[in-house]
Amino acid sequence: MPLELLHALARAPLPMRIDDPADIDKLRALQAAGQVRAQIPPARQGLGGHEEQAPAVVFEITRLGMMAVQAFGPPVHDPAAAWAPGMPLPTAQPAFQASLR
């Protein structure tokens, strides 16, 4: 899921090289959503008809991406993502919550 990758990137030093084609596909979605700034080479047809993907490089998480990291907490099934520097403390409430009055 792209959000899991976004959370991992938020905890990592940037720039970061991404080699896994599945993660590069997630990175494409994050870039299309304006949440990261990255260089993603196009995939090309290799020998034998197999698709080849050169590594991508993530340069930054945009303001919109950081807002998504803060608004949508880390995945509950990833204990390593519970908290990292730059993320709000787990007790913090999202600023955009509407009142139910």
Question: What does the DSSP assignment read for the chain?
Answer: -HHHHHHHHHHS-SSEEE--HHHHHHHHHHHHTTSEEEE-PPPEE-GGG-EE---EEEEEE-HHHHHHHHHSPPPTT-GGGS--TTSPPTTPPPTTPPP--
Q: How confident is the model at residue 8 (pLDDT cuts 50, 70, 90)?
A: very high
Burial class (CB in 10 A: 0-12, 13-18, 19+), 9: buried
Q: Report if residue 80 sits inside a domain.
A: no
Mean pLDDT value across residues 22-40: 95
- The answer to whether the predicted template modeling score (pTM) of the entire model surpasses 0.75 is no
Q: Is residue 97 part of a domain?
A: no
CA distances from 99 to 6, 70, 71, 73 (A): 28, 19, 16, 20
Please provide the average confidence, as pLDDT, over all residues in the chain: 81
What pLDDT shows up at residue 82? 55
> What is the predicted pLDDT for the residue at 94?
47
Note whether residue 17 is domain-resident: yes
Which domain does 15 fall in, by range?
A: 2-75
Query: Does 99 fall in a domain?
Result: no
Please check whether residue 60 lies inside any domain of the structure. yes
34 domain residue, yes or no: yes
* pLDDT recorded at residue 16: 93
65-91 tens-digit pLDDT: 999 999 987 766 555 555 555 555 554
Q: Is residue 93 part of a domain?
A: no
The rounded distance, in Å, linking the Cα atoms of 25 and 28 is: 5
Q: Is the pLDDT of residue 99 over 60?
A: no
Is residue 86 in a domain?
no
Domain count, the chain: 1
